[in-house]
Structure 1
């Protein structure tokens, strides 16, 4: 049986040390490293060792009985959380490490929410119980309050013969059949374990273990319970499917990491991407930086392949379904600053390679200014990126001050018209553009009849609408939350060329924006502040000053919890201020909560100073032809000049 177990935590909770112990006790590694000694097995990148934090999700491979486990050690720092989210998508189970001293911290809550969204059965491990200030009971109460009332402490072994009284009672409270068995004293350990295993799978129970990873306390006890409480089922006979969750490069060769969801994969097997077919040339099973090759893998396994250059992170091989979008997205962008000998286009190719490994970077090339911009989660990510570029590519790169990533949308329904007809070219597109609900993104509906425009040309228009982010009129930021409906269009049997519909589509899009009421959007956080009651006034005032909103405060005898929404731009540095006035005793968690109306629209528009007339990629004018010569028609006259009725 193959099982993929992810280990997640807030930074410094002891996650990597915990993984080290699991691998050691299953004889996967012979010696245990330590984070402070810079010699841990899974944090094997020099940057990770130097900083003492996990940056890249790495996997270890271990065996317990007949089961094969892949342990994925994920980053605990918020700047690298997209790497963590990609790993979550291929986990069968997750273990959240919580410090017995610090308890539930900001990033712990983010991890918990993501695991619930992806429906990954979850265990807890309260770590560092040997430390001064450790309070297991307080942390348990916190977990039950902040995460789920179904967190269950397991502090003694479960066997087929016996089970702790409080566990039997806990289960009996949640199932009538178990309650009857409990009252008749026929409830045995095997029945309890079987029910608990199912409840874990259905996210109705979240077992919690205790220990101290650094001192090797509670590790063997946890390992003994893991096979009893976890179970996976994969269809090995079905057609092969696998989800890509990581891209790495071994020298010049590209490694595509994936999890087999069903079926069996063999070397020399083919995969088709559009018009291109690629062949698997090698299959690797990784344990840290070490690997062994194999000729075949089965459903449930985590593995890497050589031979694929077109598969992207998030793709599901063996199916035509579109990849599911990720929850965590960057809210900042930074300009790449380079003054070396290499041409900037060569530097761009390096960033494209890094973008394949870290898709959230969203590398943007501005041809007019010959500039590279990257999307990022935070400043620490930029520091690490600079180190990677120096160590791996010998490039001395710095970055400009990170800026907020704005977006734009429309508030009114319009029809955009685009026509492109210079001599010996022809394409016309009519697009209905309507506001989508916030956070939906851009969507497409086809209402064009095949008698008006061929299906091939209709698909081409849809492709052009989604092949890139499109600039809005206010700041040139990407346009989102628009519902496009293709109404009609026209081609010419003789003169329509390959790029004509791209031109006509972009012009229709831009002409629609010229008519619409345009809105500037900015990213928002969903925040949770927790501190002494003494600070409630300060907290509420700070949120109002940051143009945020908050729900009714939750007050206890000595503590207040405040939740709400606030713009990223006004709150991104607030953690330092909050820690200072609460003397480090407050708790702050922030999660990206989508885009909403910008609180200081006019200020940002003036600051960006975008000139819609000078954007080299876009124009709202249409091109028509008369007497063998093309001429331009401005957007406000374009509708009357269109050929389609």
Structure 2
């Protein structure tokens, strides 16, 4: 049986979890429909999801349609949980993007569609809630063509929209208007189809058009649009048929070496770690020892695969399947199993978190329990970037927004019994090198107390290029363990630049390296005081790196969001001064009938304040979209963040802290 790994994506409250329930019910997997409002849906399993009526963690369910096993992944719709969606994208064969027939295309809808197009994931669009008062499928279809992609075609029409009696009827092969629209859409990518149609319309059969539609949908060139209601079931049968007919099934060679990606990690009832993995090629079996990432190995102790709505025990999981794996105790989200798949794992498709807060236990006695609980949450969501400050006994987490803070607080209380509060949310800045700087410390020469030579040069790299570590010495001139210690320490040290922020977009070159070979006394006993160790390089590297960075200089940059604000035209003059006070910079303003569309940039730390003020400023008619766009140099005094290490910028204090663990060394060899 073939497999299709399908993602359901939408802006929050568009109805994708209700659609998941309806698809399961239609396939006979569940006897009764669950309700988001009643908190009894199949995929919202967390207590908090049931209480708030939103999806927080991705969930997998399965059903069979037309001989295809569909592994359906329900994803969060709220932008604060976009990291969950990001992890799912790397394992999908296709997607259904849900749009509300009432609210239409919303901020998150645009972000999701742009990402699906960039990754070329075959996507169907479903206009939901056609039975709701105010539903206007025709208006929403126009919005989709204008705001998402022009390469769409409606597959049917809706009668009595906006009423409980709304029904959806697919266009038939004898509908000439539909055929013309389909030919216009498909011929843009198929010259042979256009030529055949121009020569003789009757020569292009309905079957040929459907095959062409399936082929181009599978290549993510066109996007068929369905309409219906997840609540009443109207139009869902047509969507189900479209999923089976138009989206490509999973491909993969079971005889090839194992290749998979971990996209979710959770804890079982006994605290055991469970990894959700998409298997691209090969087969994983119980008791197999498999490679995890680049270095680790682990033995698979149990496997479950998804069938008819449930995860069922299995001895194997083959190419194309999604499996739950036990026994991989050190596995992390984004890890590759076996060999790397063709598609990149762990790649960031969305913006990074731009906010940070300190988590404070209500009871001092819960500090250790808090750290354990947050470490487990970081397993499920690595982008919270758990940061331990041992000097101040504080733990910080990164955030996408205030709702995520509320969820962390409730999860800690409900699942771990730890009550917490938060410090004020702050913006996470970054540092970029301004110029080129170099430093070196030589073995056996003052003021270097460590048995190693390290020289580093730091220089700026293009924006968005990240971090690059280069060897400026011969590879065989030092043991690999020492080179690895230097590179790992460089990466760790760059988490705190001259102002305490992570240093990005820089190139580091190891310009000098030296060590003392292993020395022994006459009786053959290893003498650590005469021999270089990896610890020497881990302790020395921060001093050299920060000296080079100080000579290069860095500049602090703050995250900026690109915003798009629609508001009544008569309030344009009232809103502009408020935008200015929030440091927002309008770039363009366009009249659209009785509305104004304002686009520009706003500091990430000001977005929440703008969201809070908008309803009162615009009589509730303002619509704001924003997403991270770039980093911009901070004007005025550069903000700093307290360091949580031994501060290699202060050599005396650093050596006092580090050398307590270093045995006294001879001054020369």
The reply to whether TM is greater than 0.5 is yes
Q: CA deviation at 1:481?
A: 1.5
| Contact persistence 1:271–1:279 (CA under 8 A) | yes
| Contact persistence 1:44–1:288 (CA under 8 A) | no
Partner residue in 1 for 2:326: 306
Give the Cα–Cα distance (whole angstroms) in 1 for the partners of residues 18 and 367 of structure 2: 41
Partner residue in 2 for 1:104: 105
Is 1:188 matched up with 2:205? yes
Deviates more, 1:313-322 or 1:32-41: 313-322
Superposed, which structure 2 residues align to 1:271-282 within 5 Å?
A: 271-273=290-292, 276-282=296-302
| Contact persistence 2:9–2:75 (CA under 8 A) | yes
Partner residue in 1 for 2:191: 176
Partner residue in 2 for 1:325: 347
Partner residue in 1 for 2:599: 563
Please, which runs of 5 or more residues in structure 2 have no aligned partner?
Answer: 157-168, 519-530
Partner residue in 1 for 2:289: 270
Give the Cα–Cα distance (whole angstroms) in 2 for the partners of residues 275 and 121 of structure 1: 34
Superposed, which structure 2 residues align to 1:539-618 within 5 Å?
A: 539-602=575-638, 604-605=639-640, 610=642, 616-618=646-648
Secondary structure of 1:381's aligned partner: helix
Q: CA deviation at 1:105?
A: 0.9
Give the Cα–Cα distance (whole angstroms) in 2 for the partners of residues 460 and 583 of structure 1: 59
| Contact persistence 1:549–1:564 (CA under 8 A) | yes
Give the Cα–Cα distance (whole angstroms) in 2 for the partners of residues 558 and 132 of structure 1: 23
Secondary structure of 1:314's aligned partner: coil
Deviates more, 1:291-300 or 1:420-429: 420-429
Within the candidate set 378, 389, 394, 2:417 is matched to: 394
| Contact persistence 2:259–2:338 (CA under 8 A) | yes
* CA deviations over 1:185-226 (Å, ceiling 9, x no partner): 211122111111121122210111111111111111211222
Give the Cα–Cα distance (whole angstroms) in 2 for the partners of residues 297 and 157 of structure 1: 37
Give the Cα–Cα distance (whole angstroms) in 2 for the partners of residues 559 and 509 of structure 1: 54
Within the candidate set 487, 496, 511, 1:462 is matched to: 487
Q: CA deviation at 1:631?
A: 11
Secondary structure of 1:616's aligned partner: coil
Partner residue in 1 for 2:267: 249
Partner residue in 2 for 1:511: 547
| Contact persistence 1:237–1:263 (CA under 8 A) | yes
| Contact persistence 1:409–1:521 (CA under 8 A) | yes
Secondary structure of 1:277's aligned partner: strand
Is 1:296 matched up with 2:332? no
Q: Cα–Cα, structure 1 residues 619 and 423, in superposed 2: closer, same or farther, change >3 Å?
A: closer
Is 1:198 matched up with 2:215? yes
Superposed, which structure 2 residues align to 1:310-389 within 5 Å?
A: 310-319=330-339, 323-326=345-348, 327-340=350-363, 342=365, 344-389=367-412
Q: Cα–Cα, structure 1 residues 534 and 151, in superposed 2: closer, same or farther, change >3 Å?
A: farther
Partner residue in 2 for 1:485: 509
| Contact persistence 2:360–2:422 (CA under 8 A) | yes
Give the Cα–Cα distance (whole angstroms) in 1 for the partners of residues 170 and 6 of structure 2: 20
Q: CA deviation at 1:629?
A: 6.6
Give the Cα–Cα distance (whole angstroms) in 1 for the partners of residues 372 and 182 of structure 2: 59
Give the Cα–Cα distance (whole angstroms) in 1 for the partners of residues 558 and 34 of structure 2: 44
Give the Cα–Cα distance (whole angstroms) in 1 for the partners of residues 150 and 666 of structure 2: 69
CA RMSD of aligned residues (A): 2.8
Is 1:527 matched up with 2:563? yes
Secondary structure of 1:53's aligned partner: coil
Q: CA deviation at 1:439?
A: 2.5
Give the Cα–Cα distance (whole angstroms) in 1 for the partners of residues 389 and 93 of structure 2: 41
Q: Cα–Cα, structure 1 residues 216 and 358, in superposed 2: closer, same or farther, change >3 Å?
A: same
Q: CA deviation at 1:363?
A: 0.8
Give the Cα–Cα distance (whole angstroms) in 1 for the partners of residues 647 and 496 of structure 2: 9
Q: Cα–Cα, structure 1 residues 504 and 290, in superposed 2: closer, same or farther, change >3 Å?
A: same
* CA deviations over 1:338-389 (Å, ceiling 9, x no partner): 1436462342122111111110111111111111111111121121112111
Give the Cα–Cα distance (whole angstroms) in 2 for the partners of residues 423 and 530 of structure 1: 61
